[in-house]
């Protein structure tokens, strides 16, 4: 873009006449500027006498006021003191103060006065002694008043006249439902200890018959069952201790039956698994951590939970169709009853699952129907027979299905006769759905021996229905 055009406003004729140059002037108004020659003449006037007298050199002085360093012929030239403000290379230093103050002279140490000099030596003014005595008296009065008030306040906090009153219940009957269940069940619950030398195990049990039969877990008494030198001791809620004898045990359900020679026993009432519902209140009774007659409460949190039972120091190898509960169960509760609100036994506590190994987790109990069936067989025959079909399996879960994949089939077994082959994935036995290898064990144990039951499996991506007849183990 080009420059803007210069705008020159019109000048008023009156302003032109007032402020323009006269007619005979072409340049500047200065007379020197109008001289014909270019170099102005300079003239130096003599100074004013008054100013010369005031500011001129004194009489007899040279033309310069600066002293010539070589003018003093009598002595050497003195070095001027260094000025740090003028010397750029001078270091920082602290000079002397502008005003020097006189330091106060230290006072001589005062003479120490003793009591005699203060009171009778006239070294202290009587007025000062009187003031000191008044201050001491005032301090004593204030201290006594504070002490008196403190004593009165302390007296208000404690009193020998107060007698605390307690009230008793109208009756001796248990007032809560858990208390009622505990009151009814505790006499039928026992503590069981198996000992072999320095080794011992502690569990619980419940009286199921007046003839002295007690049901418990196999892993509680397996030490005594495998070694004749071991002893079994049963302790009742009233403190009575008696020896126990093993009637029979079943490692596949982790149940055992003992017998004691005691009369007039309190027998627990047994319930039915069909009446158990998820969410109902339950009470666990036993001897967790060796603490007998312990009662904990919770609810039934799940049913038909396949749980494998095994452990060090026991020959138990079982899979139970467990009742799951959040009632606190710890080692020592094993073999004790799980009770409903009517104090009926609905399961035998057998296992816990917890990250810490304690009761901060879930407990599992053997359903009462399985307990009744196994205990009845052990009392009658001393042993328990289970159905089997002759396969080993492993759990499998994929996008197509989940179940128990057949790892191998025993020759001549019911499974081989039915046409089961390795690689088949069993998904149903009878009416029970199978989602894992442990659930297959539970489903087979639910079937009657010698009865033909339907078996459903997945083979090469398609469902296959077979018929299998379990036999006794």
Within 10 angstroms of residue 227's Cβ, the number of other Cβ atoms is 13
Catalytic residue among 191, 201, 204, 219: 219
Indicate the pairing of strand 241-243 with strand 294-309: unpaired
Q: Report the Cα–Cα distance between both ends of the chain, in Å, rounded.
A: 110
Rounded (5°) CA angle 397-399-402: 30
Q: What does the alpha-carbon distance between residue 29 and residue 133 come to, in Å, rounded to a whole number?
A: 102
Active-site annotation holds for 334: yes
Active-site annotation holds for 350: no
Q: What does the alpha-carbon distance between residue 406 and residue 428 come to, in Å, rounded to a whole number?
A: 13
Active-site annotation holds for 219: yes
Tokens of 164: 């605390």
Q: What does the alpha-carbon distance between residue 396 and residue 423 come to, in Å, rounded to a whole number?
A: 11
Within 10 angstroms of residue 31's Cβ, the number of other Cβ atoms is 8
Q: What does the alpha-carbon distance between residue 254 and residue 244 come to, in Å, rounded to a whole number?
A: 18
Q: What does the alpha-carbon distance between residue 216 and residue 232 come to, in Å, rounded to a whole number?
A: 12
Catalytic residue among 334, 350, 359, 402: 334
For residue 32, the SS3 value is helix
Residues 254, 218 contacting (CB under 8 angstroms): yes
Catalytic residue among 201, 204, 250, 254: 254
Q: Report CA-CA distances (Å) from 188 to 183, 234, 299, 364.
A: 10, 12, 22, 21
Q: What is the 3-state secondary structure (H, E, C) of 342-384?
A: CCEEEEEEEEEECCCCCCCCEEEEEEHHHHHHHHHHHHHHCCC
Q: Report CA-CA distances (Å) from 134 to 129, 142, 144, 438.
A: 9, 12, 15, 97
Q: What does the alpha-carbon distance between residue 374 and residue 219 come to, in Å, rounded to a whole number?
A: 15
Q: DSSP assignment of 194-225, as one string?
A: EEETTEEEEEEEEEEETTTEEEEEHHHHHHHH
CB neighbour list of residue 443: distance below 8 Å, 6 or more residues apart: 428, 429, 430, 432, 434
| CB-facing half-sphere around the CA of 305: CA atoms within 13 A | 20
Q: What does the alpha-carbon distance between residue 414 and residue 431 come to, in Å, rounded to a whole number?
A: 18
Q: What does the alpha-carbon distance between residue 14 and residue 223 come to, in Å, rounded to a whole number?
A: 138
Residues carrying an active site annotation: 219, 254, 334
């Amino acid at each position: 873009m080009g420059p803007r055009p210069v705008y020159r406003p019109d000048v008023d004729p009156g302003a032109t006449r007032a402020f323009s140059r006269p007619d005979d002037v072409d340049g500047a108004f200065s007379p020197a500027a109008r001289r014909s020659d270019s170099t102005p003449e300079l003239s130096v006037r003599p100074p004013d006498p008054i100013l010369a007298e005031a500011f001129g050199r004194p009489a007899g002085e040279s033309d310069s006021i600066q002293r010539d360093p070589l003018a003093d012929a009598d002595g050497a030239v003195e070095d001027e003191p260094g000025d740090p403000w003028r010397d750029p290379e001078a270091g920082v230093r602290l000079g002397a103060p502008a005003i020097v103050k006189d330091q106060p002279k230290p006072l001589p140490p005062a003479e120490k006065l003793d009591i005699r000099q203060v009171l009778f030596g006239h070294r202290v003014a009587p007025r000062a002694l009187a003031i000191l005595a008044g201050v001491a008296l005032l301090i004593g009065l204030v201290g006594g008043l504070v002490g008196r008030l403190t004593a009165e306040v302390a007296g208000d906090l404690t009193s020998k006249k107060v007698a605390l009153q307690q009230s008793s219940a109208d009756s001796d009957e248990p007032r809560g439902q858990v208390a009622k269940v505990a009151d009814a069940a505790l006499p039928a619950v026992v503590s069981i200890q198996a000992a072999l030398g320095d080794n011992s195990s502690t569990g619980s049990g419940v009286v199921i018959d007046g003839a002295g039969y007690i049901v418990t877990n196999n892993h509680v008494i397996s030490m005594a069952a495998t070694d004749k030198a071991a002893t079994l001791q049963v302790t009742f809620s009233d403190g009575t201790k008696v020896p126990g004898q093993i009637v029979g045990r079943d490692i596949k359900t982790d149940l055992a039956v003992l017998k004691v020679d005691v009369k007039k026993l309190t027998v627990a009432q047994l319930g039915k698994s069909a009446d158990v519902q998820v969410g109902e209140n339950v009470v666990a009774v036993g001897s967790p951590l060796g603490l007998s007659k312990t009662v904990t409460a919770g609810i039934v949190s799940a049913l038909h939970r396949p749980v494998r039972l095994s452990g060090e120091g026991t020959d138990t190898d079982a899979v139970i169709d467990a009742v799951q509960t959040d009632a606190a169960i710890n080692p020592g509760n094993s073999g004790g009853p799980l009770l409903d609100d009517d104090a009926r036994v609905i399961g035998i506590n057998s296992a816990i699952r917890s990250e810490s190994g304690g009761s901060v987790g879930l407990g599992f109990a053997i359903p009462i129907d399985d307990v009744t069936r196994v205990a009845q067989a052990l009392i009658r025959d001393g042993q328990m027979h289970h159905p089997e079909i002759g396969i080993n399996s492993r759990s499998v879960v994929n996008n197509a299905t989940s179940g128990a994949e057949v790892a191998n089939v025993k020759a001549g077994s019911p499974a081989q006769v039915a046409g089961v082959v390795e690689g088949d994935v069993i998904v149903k036995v009878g009416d029970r759905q199978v989602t894992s290898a442990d659930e297959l064990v539970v489903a087979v144990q639910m079937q009657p021996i010698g009865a033909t039951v339907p078996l459903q499996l997945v083979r090469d991506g398609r469902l296959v229905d077979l018929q299998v007849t379990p036999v006794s183990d």
